[in-house]
Amino acid sequence: MVRTGLVALAVLAGVAVASDASAGDAIPSDVLEQPDPHLNQVPRTAAERARILKVVEPTRDFTRPEDYELNMGGAATTQAAVNRDVFSQFSANMPFAHEMDFKLGNGLFRKFWVSSPSSTKASDGLGPLFNARSCQSCHVKDGRGHPPANPDDDRISMFLRLSIPADTDELKAAIASHRLMVVPEPVYGTQLQDMSIQGIPAEGRMEIVYDEIPVELADGEVVHLRRPSYSIADPAYGPLHPDVMLSPRVAPPMIGLGLLEAIPAEDILALADPEDADGDGISGRPNFAWSPEYGRVMLGRFGWKAGTPTVHQQSADAFAGDMGISNPLHPAGYGECTPAQTDCRAAPDGGDAPGTDGLEIDAAAMDLVSFYARNLAVPARRDLDDPVVLRGKQLFAEANCIACHRPKFVTARLKDRPEQSFQLIWPYSDLLLHDMGPGLADGRPEGMADGREWRTAPLWGIGLTASVAEPASYLHDGRARSLLEAVLWHGGEAEAAKQAVVALPKSDRDALIRFLESL
């Protein structure tokens, strides 16, 4: 059943939350008044809402595939062959007139940036501090990143987020009002950049140490998990703040982002149950974030803790933070260099190229990148009528994994985004925050997300991870080397579901994994 917690009731009724609600559970007035300023949508009628609720209700029939289940991304689903390029296809329903925009965006996504000054004016401005020279370097083949395979391996598709606790009333108020997501580390900012241009020291190097944890399943099989510990070696700008909080991130896959962005906010909020009013042990809370695009607070959808509201903002943040490329939302040519890094801030930048408004990537180019990111297609399901896969799907539902990994949504009717308009999609996520227990906790809050909470990761395409880029790895820091390892790391609100999987006989456990591999 659709949960109707405090957040859902407020949205559906169009009123503010009750006065005794905690600040973290209140819906900002901006979201109540206009939930989706990024969507030029046709309002739904009451009859249409009722029909959609029926369509997205999880199935109870596991004898056959559901109608339209093959096309996880609706009409935008790609039927391309499974190979390393399967995540790099454009929306199958894309009008021909839009294909050139996709290809131009792809070129910018793959572009390698160089430092300034350079004769290549269209590509200079890298850094001064950075984690990668191109978007594609992190999102390998538009898929997910991975941790280093050994101590000497590069860390290009993985980095550390940094912040410190909010220790003043002013900072706490800024976070409570969603104007600030984290308090940056005073010298190193909000992420560790382990590369830099010539003459500017890189900030340091992320170090990872793994401890092995054996987990015995009910039938005697032993699975070895690896618990990572993180530190920063050779900090070039002095010691870090004594209360610094570190949180690792691997780059997530790029597929289906435009479809997730097109889900009406009210549909996501209707699944929230911050006080667990229905007593099922699953809470689910929304995160909210300030949008410099729209000058207001919006529902967070993207990032490992749902700290970003739109694809465009997510792209702009990555250009600035990961590559030091200035853009309309982050116009500073020095990227993430802090005031304490004076030489870094004084280094040349690439904002003097003609026709770019003093930016290293201008608004027109950013729009192309955002269009590309919105239209990387979700691949079609595989083997969905296989009896073993159907059995695994049933076990997934019986373990109540679908309480967070919500199978279906219907996107809004959009006037200007035909690829994402009114599609039945199967992301297997509610896009809400959930307490995942101490094993996955990073101890670092982000906006309304606390140190144990993570956004439910969409599962579409997860079975193709190894096909796109090996070695396959899962979870926010890539610690899990298999889907079973990823399941066994679940805790908190997912503890009961995990224990249900632990108790399965091997044949059923294998069927569950086969179902996940079919997504």
pLDDT at residue 515, rounded to an integer: 98
pLDDT at 186 over 60: yes
- Region of 256 (left: φ > 0; alpha: ψ -120 to 50; beta: rest) is left
122: which DSSP letter?
Answer: G
Q: How confident is the model at residue 1 (pLDDT cuts 50, 70, 90)?
A: very low
Q: How confident is the model at residue 25 (pLDDT cuts 50, 70, 90)?
A: low
Among 457, 497, 19, 57, which Cα is nearest to 271's?
A: 57
pLDDT at residue 16, rounded to an integer: 29
pLDDT at residue 149, rounded to an integer: 85
Query: Would you state the structure tokens that stand for residue 359, as one six-digit string?
Result: 């930016």
d(CA 170, CA 192): 25
pLDDT at 5 over 60: no
DSSP E strand boundaries for 60-103: none
| H/E segment holding residue 456 | none
Record the pTM: 0.94
d(CA 296, CA 310): 12
Among 464, 505, 517, 514, which Cα is nearest to 217's?
A: 505
d(CA 331, CA 310): 18
pLDDT, the chain, mean: 93
**Over residues 336-345, mean pLDDT:** 97
DSSP E strand boundaries for 284-333: 288-291, 296-299
**Over residues 427-445, mean pLDDT:** 98
Among 55, 71, 57, which Cα is nearest to 460's?
A: 71
pLDDT at residue 15, rounded to an integer: 27
pLDDT at residue 11, rounded to an integer: 32
Asked which of 22-31, 136-145, 170-179, 249-258 is least confident by mean pLDDT, the reply is 22-31
Asked which of 5-19, 50-64, 136-150, 451-465 is least confident by mean pLDDT, the reply is 5-19
| H/E segment holding residue 202 | none
pLDDT at 410 over 80: yes
pLDDT at residue 352, rounded to an integer: 79
pLDDT at 102 over 80: yes
Residue type, 132: A
**Over residues 471-479, mean pLDDT:** 96
- First-to-last alpha carbon distance for the chain, in angstroms, is 23
**Over residues 474-497, mean pLDDT:** 98
Could you read off the pLDDT of 41-66 as tens digits, one per residue? 999 999 999 999 999 999 999 999 99
**Over residues 178-206, mean pLDDT:** 97
**Over residues 92-114, mean pLDDT:** 97
Q: How confident is the model at residue 458 (pLDDT cuts 50, 70, 90)?
A: very high
The answer to whether 245 touches 165, Cβ cutoff 8 Å, is yes
Sign of CA dihedral 400, 404, 407, 413: positive
pLDDT at residue 10, rounded to an integer: 30
Q: How confident is the model at residue 150 (pLDDT cuts 50, 70, 90)?
A: confident
DSSP E strand boundaries for 234-276: 245-250
How do the domains of the chain map onto residue ranges? 36-253+286-518
Where do we find the tokens 């889900």?
A: 263
Q: How confident is the model at residue 210 (pLDDT cuts 50, 70, 90)?
A: very high
